[in-house]
Structure 1
Amino acid sequence: MDQKHAIIKGAFILTLTGFATRFIGFFYRIFLSQSFGEESVGLYQLIFPVYALCFSLCCAGIETAVARNVAASSSLGDKKRAVIFLYCGLFLSFLPSCIMMLLMQKEADFIASFFLGEPRCAPLLIIISYAMPFAAVHSCICGYYIGLKKTRIPAISQLVEQIARVCSVFFLYRYFMERSLSAGISLAAVGLVMGEIFSSLFSLHAFRKEKRQTLLPASAVLPQKPGSWRNGMRGILQTSLPLTGNRVLLNILQSTEAVSIPAKLQIFGFSVSDSLSIYGVLTGMALPCILFPSAITNSISTMLLPAVAEIQAGGSIKKLREVIRKVFFCCFALGLACCFAFLLFGQLAGELLFHSQMAGQFIITLAWICPFLYTNSTLLSVINGLGKANISFLLNTAGLLLRIASVFFMIPLSGIRGYLWGLLISQGTVFLLCLMYLGLYIASICKKENRGVK
């Protein structure tokens, strides 16, 4: 299967699953907002920057490193080495994730009070900490299959995670209501843990089943030479350490942004309850609605990283330029179509789906970021696939700094609308910077080829 068909097939599978999970998640968020209230949803959303930061420390860089190294090994026909990279990734992420789980539980009160500024988040942090080891296993196995361009297992595991999360919360809520017990937003945190448990168990089962079906001897999976493991560890660490450092710094900035929004809304004049409600409507209702179509672009981004890595290894600048051009125009056209759709029907969507006029207003304002938001994910994936993780880090940091500036300077002056326009400016800036860098990169490669011909 050539590069084009591999990307299309993989993206198609991931897109179908992405739409299915987002469709389920859409009604799940409606259920949360109606069952627990906007303020409780705001509290629940407030813990995710901490979870994302902890996940980045333990797993995120390693998942990408596994995918990239497995893709390189697979392109050379070395399946044995690809499996070694998976095992090394599992070892390097599972142990730190267990340590992180214990640290989150021990310091939950401190994180909730001094970092999030909301002591009511402490029990939620303790609950979601149990998801960390399972998330590590799930992410590494998904990285392995993405590297092989086999998206069926990651896609199904994503669906399993979402179904397990929603069903567990729904049945627990019914159980509590039938017995007249108090059912708080902590049930949503329990659902997150259940989703990671089921998805990791499914991923492990699928991997073990595949290995049994291929009838590989033990020596094919567990190499005799210690150097194979050493090289595998080195390969994962060399790729993952800069990625992890970048992800951690980005998540620190994102966390600063997220926890500052309610605080700055209070400076603008809202109460604690109102500021959490606005934050909950923005992050739990309006943004998921805007991000719903990005299931397509996220799927393309996932498949682009290993594909670009292989194209770069083959040295075909023509093929690389063709892939970038086609992906850019498709994603930008999708963004424009969604922008017009949200401008026309955003208010109706907010009131009909979430019974919130505020959500509709947010959706209309956020509609303008769609062309940039949907295209940026694929452009950044191309840059990562070229092995330029530091460049993508710098571009993401530039966008985040603009968003943080809007939180600190625009929210106190004009409320949440100042932050929404800050989002638009940041996405537009990242969009232009990505295009400039890729244009310069391709021009420099073409210049080198021309010199070689001469």
Structure 2
Amino acid sequence: MSKFIQGTIILLFAGLVTRVLGFINRIVIARFIGAEGVGLYMMAFPTFILVVTITQLGLPVAISKNVAEAEARGDTEKTKKILIVSLASTLSLSILFTPALILLTPYLSEHLLTDNRTLYPLLAIAPVVPIIAVSSVIRGYFQGKQNMKPAAYSQLIEQVVRITLIAALTKAFLPYGIEYAAAGAMLASVIGELASLIYLLASFKLKKKFKVRRQFFQHIRKGKDTFKQLMEVALPTTGSRMIGSVAWFLEPIVVTYSLAIAGVSTIAATEGYGALTGFALPLLMLPSFINMALSTSLVPAISEAKAVNNFHLIEYRLQQALRISLTTGGLSVVVIYILAEPLMTVMYGSTTGTDFLKLMAPLFLFYYFQQPLQSALQALDLARAAMINSLIGAVAKIAVIFILGSQPAFGITGVALGLIVGFVLVTLLHFATLLKAISYTIHMREYLITSGAMLLTGYIGYITIKYLNFTIVPTILCGAMIMSLLYLIIMIFTKLIRKGDVQGLPGVGQFLAKFMFR
């Protein structure tokens, strides 16, 4: 089995468990603090992502790419230098950025987010800066060596610790007010990151083949060339993520102002934004762990192939990643759309956000393509082009949110439409950039078959749900099972799911391959 497939499968299973645990985490938060509390949490959460983006400086992708190339040449000393220069850079940033965040928080909560209850959730973010600084470097190092186990296990540890603490902290702080409960939920995330870092440090200490402390400062003084090589990838990557993070940071601000123009109260705006970003979007993004696993594995796999000028392998890996994204994303879209209302009822005890699910689900397939495409561009030294694409999409998203959100006829629905415009536009721009850079064949047959399978599966699922007299949970299970089985049969019969895709699965892979493809 290739390192690419092996690494993807490890991240795939870890991502599945992490997403499920993360979803349980969202459910716990929603149950304890309600839509208003989720709204406060989600208004502060973009700042958390922005902090992470600035602290990482795009280095995980740059480290992964450069370490993969160094490993292909067998240059261990280069790998050590990459690691030391990266650690020095991120730690320096964290020393500057942590006090700055604490000082700016009161202004941010009162004047930009226009809800001073976000003060405490924002303050709870500050301790995460130095933690992220170190963990991001170690993750990039392991990914560059195409060893995905430490990164996968660290994700699981983070979620387990987070979900263990989330109920306790929100319950403990809730008597003091919703804002304190939201801060407790954010603090649980920070402690989860700390637990993840401790595991990564232990794994690094056990598996590294060199001493980082030896000649540490000497490597920093002589690391100008290494720093430059890292920044060639890191800065455009940071630019892309910064654009996305700044857009996400501005999003609740623009939402608040635009809905105020439309005559929506602050409390109603917070609840609506919480339903969209805290209820509907997590469900839509649940299947994206597949694409995240693919994109993480793609960077070192394509970088390694590029280092030896194997362009045929580059196209093969990309075709493989996009085909998996297409087939898995198609099923996810259908199941979420057909089962939108019962899923929301079971997950959150409310149908709030169901309309957002049905509005966004059909076009969310574009979102599932975005991450693999962006990783491929970064590995091909086209991170700057990816950054420009992200900028165009972010500007379009914010503009549509403000224009439509400020119209009473649209309101919070205009915000949802703005999100759709953003990710669809970025995905199309990424794909156009890729077509200009490499030789790539578009197999229209795959897209037509998948579209037909989605329509047929959705229709059968709708008819099944309509005539079932089961209670809500059996309805979800039965409907999802029927749709998944029908879709799987179509995919195997048309060879969009192939024997090699299944054989790579650990444990039962060979058995399933013989059973499904005999």
Q: TM-score, normalised by structure 2?
A: 0.79
Distance in 2, matches of 1:28 and 1:263, equals 29
Aligned to 1:234: 228
Distance in 1, matches of 2:335 and 2:260, equals 33
- Residue of 420, 423, 427 corresponding to 2:423: 427
* Structure 1 segment 317-396 matched on structure 2, within 5 A: 317-396=311-390
Q: Which has the higher relative contact order, 1 or 2, with Cα contacts under 8 A spaced 6 or more apart?
A: 1
Q: 1:126 to 1:421 in 2, by over 3 A?
A: closer
Indicate whether 1:442 and 2:438 are aligned.
Answer: yes
- 2:171/2:181 contact within 8 Å kept: no
Query: Considering only aligned residues, what root-mean-square deviation do their CA atoms show, in Å?
Result: 2.3
- Residue of 403, 411, 421 corresponding to 1:409: 403
Q: CA deviation at 1:428?
A: 2.8
Q: CA deviation at 1:220?
A: 8.0
- Residue of 153, 161, 164 corresponding to 1:164: 161
Q: CA deviation at 1:133?
A: 0.4
- 1:368/1:424 contact within 8 Å kept: no
Q: CA deviation at 1:329?
A: 2.1
Unaligned runs of 5+ in 1: 445-454
Aligned to 2:64: 67
| Amino acid corresponding to residue 403 of structure 2 in structure 1 | F
Distance in 1, matches of 2:402 and 2:214, equals 56
- % identity of equivalent residues: 26
Distance in 2, matches of 1:190 and 1:138, equals 18
Q: CA deviation at 1:241?
A: 3.0
**TM-superposition CA deviations, 1:133-175 (whole Å, max 9, x none):** 0011111110111111100001111111111122122233455
Indicate whether 1:57 and 2:54 are aligned.
Answer: yes
| Amino acid corresponding to residue 20 of structure 2 in structure 1 | F
Distance in 2, matches of 1:300 and 1:56, equals 20
- Residue of 160, 182, 186 corresponding to 1:185: 182
- Residue of 23, 27, 31 corresponding to 1:30: 27
**TM-superposition CA deviations, 1:427-451 (whole Å, max 9, x none):** 333333222222222259xxxxxxx
- 1:68/1:309 contact within 8 Å kept: yes
Q: CA deviation at 1:221?
A: 7.8
Q: CA deviation at 1:89?
A: 0.8
Q: 1:376 to 1:226 in 2, by over 3 A?
A: closer
- Residue of 38, 44, 47 corresponding to 1:47: 44
User: Comparing 285-294 with 247-256, which one deviates more in the overlay?
Assistant: 247-256
Distance in 2, matches of 1:402 and 1:77, equals 44
Q: CA deviation at 1:229?
A: 3.5
- 1:80/1:221 contact within 8 Å kept: no
| Amino acid corresponding to residue 96 of structure 1 in structure 2 | L
Q: 1:398 to 1:237 in 2, by over 3 A?
A: closer
**TM-superposition CA deviations, 1:386-426 (whole Å, max 9, x none):** 01111111111222222112211111221222232333333
| Amino acid corresponding to residue 333 of structure 1 in structure 2 | T
Q: 1:187 to 1:227 in 2, by over 3 A?
A: closer
- Residue of 202, 206, 219 corresponding to 2:203: 206
Aligned to 1:449: none
Indicate whether 1:196 and 2:193 are aligned.
Answer: yes
Distance in 1, matches of 2:48 and 2:247, equals 14
Distance in 1, matches of 2:347 and 2:326, equals 26
- 2:55/2:90 contact within 8 Å kept: yes
Unaligned runs of 5+ in 2: 441-518
- 1:334/1:371 contact within 8 Å kept: no
Q: Secondary structure at the match of 1:185?
A: helix
Distance in 2, matches of 1:318 and 1:48, equals 41
| Amino acid corresponding to residue 319 of structure 2 in structure 1 | R
Distance in 1, matches of 2:31 and 2:280, equals 15
Aligned to 1:86: 83
Q: 1:71 to 1:220 in 2, by over 3 A?
A: farther
Q: 1:78 to 1:343 in 2, by over 3 A?
A: same
Q: TM-score, normalised by structure 1?
A: 0.90
- 1:369/1:427 contact within 8 Å kept: no
Aligned to 2:514: none
Report how many aligned residue pairs link the two structures.
Answer: 436
